[in-house]
Amino acid sequence: MEPTKTAYGIWSGGRFMHFGEALDEGKMTDVIHHAYHKGVRTFMTADVYGGGEADEMIGEALSEFPRDSYCLIGAVGHDYYQGKRDGAKGFPRFTDSRLRPANQYRDYLKTATEKALKRCKTEKFDLLLLHNPDSVGYSSDAVWTAMQSVREDGMTDQLGIAPGPANGFTLDLILSFERFGEFIDWAMVILNPLEPWPGKLCLPAAEKYGVNLLTRVVDYGGLFHGDVLPGHEFGNGDHRTYRAPGWVEAGNEKIDQMRDYANKYDLTLLQLACLWNLSHTPVKSVVPTLIQEAHETAKPIKVKADELASLPDITLDPDDMAAIEAIGNNKGCMALKGGNPTYSGDAVADGWELNPDLEAVAERWSIRPEEDLVCVH
């Protein structure tokens, strides 16, 4: 089954990634069932979340529904089997040279996918993503030959790539489209009306190479849900505490300027953000984070799922899209990950210097790294 235009990510609900209140297993399952019954039919997990626990939870939650009635997206890439966790940086990528040489990539990916499928109680994924790759994952023939072998073994119908966890990887992602477009059916990028940059830079290449885009962080850390307002207090460990001071206030000020567009189309703010994304040609699916905020006046997470599930089938007017983007313009607001002109030193899992291949990508796509990929604030 192809991914549908609305998708549910297992990181929603705060259990596997710290956003808002962490729901217990029963409440998480209830929300997944609720989303399914309301019409959300694409569900996404990743093997590293909870050390496999997320796979098990979504597999159990979906087990009562016919397998052909929903799309299941899996993700592999962090080696939490043999790798050692490095604090907040997480587990190393399976391509880390300290773990294995390139001729063992295929065996790793086959084993990791088999284990994930078993936890998910299914025989194959509809889409399997390469999760948070390092520079090797974007550029190596050995990686994508190994990914293709997983498909040939019948463990997935489609393949994709999911950069992260932070924003960036622009030239790296385009490089992967150019080199491995015959293998890559889908890519996941960060995109929303308050973060058009740098994700939009990848859209022309995705369209040229026929790569469909699944977009995340559509809710912009919960602001498009409408219950994260100026003065909001985040709990200890909430991922959003790592954002720059004042981001809630600045974001809400911009969202207030977008309300007329939501009213014009009779949309909630979340729906406006989703449809702004989907109105870009290569974007075919949106997976906002559904967050149960901890304060008393918070919008219930099921209501947020309802808004996602009831997304109307419309396309925003191009002039309105441009006006919304102008309001949300965030160019240069953060340091980007991946290949970057400001990075120097040895490559790490999420950062490396520009090399001639990436510089050539930039030239082909009229991207000026020193102007288009740097933090200026």
Domains of the chain: 8-319 (3.20.20.100)
| 215 membership: H or E segment, kind and range | strand 212-216
77 close to 131: Cβ distance less than 8 angstroms: yes
pLDDT at site 107:
98
Identify the pLDDT of residue 61: 98
The secondary structure of 354-376 as a DSSP string is --HHHHHHHHHTT--HHHHSS--
Residue 310, token pair as written in the block: 């009831």
Alpha helices in the chain (DSSP H): 25-38, 53-62, 105-119, 135-139, 141-152, 170-180, 203-208, 247-264, 269-278, 301-309, 318-328, 356-364, 369-372
- In the sheet that holds 283-287, the strands lie side by side as 8-9, 42-44, 71-76, 125-131, 156-162, 186-190, 212-216, 283-287
Amino acid, res. 140 = S
pLDDT at 89: 87
pLDDT of residue 88: 84
Could you read off the pLDDT of 127-177 as tens digits, one per residue? Answer: 999 999 999 999 999 999 999 999 999 999 999 999 999 999 999 999 999
Structure tokens at 370: 């020193």
pLDDT value, residue 18: 94
Phi, psi of 68 (to 5 degrees): -85, 5
DSSP readout, 151-202? HHTTSEEEEEEE--SSSB-HHHHHHHHHHHTTT--EEEEE-BTTB-TTGGGG
Rounded to whole angstroms, the Cα distance separating 284 from 277 reads: 9
**Could you tell me if 54 and 10 are in contact, meaning their C-beta atoms sit under 8 angstroms apart?**
yes
Residue partners of 324: CB distance under 8 A and separation at least 6 = 193, 258, 261, 272, 276, 316
Taking a C-beta distance cutoff of 8 angstroms, is the pair 203, 282 a contact? yes
Contact 131, 73 (CB under 8 A): no
Tally Cβ neighbours within 10 Å of residue 312.
10
Q: How does pLDDT run across 232-248, given as a tens digit for each residue? A: 999 999 999 999 999 99
Tokens 């019409």 belong to 39
- pLDDT digit string (tens) for the chain, length 377 residues: 999 999 999 999 999 999 999 999 999 999 999 999 999 999 999 999 999 999 999 999 999 999 999 999 999 999 999 999 998 889 999 999 999 999 999 999 999 999 999 999 999 999 999 999 999 999 999 999 999 999 999 999 999 999 999 999 999 999 999 999 999 999 999 999 999 999 999 999 999 999 999 999 999 999 999 999 999 999 999 999 999 999 999 999 999 999 999 999 999 999 999 999 999 999 999 999 999 999 989 999 999 999 999 999 999 999 999 999 999 999 999 999 999 999 999 999 999 999 999 999 999 999 999 999 999 97
The H or E element spanning position 44 is strand 42-44
On whether the CB atoms of residues 19 and 55 are closer than 8 A, the answer is: no
Could you tell me the two tokens for 126? 């509809």
pLDDT for 377 equals 78
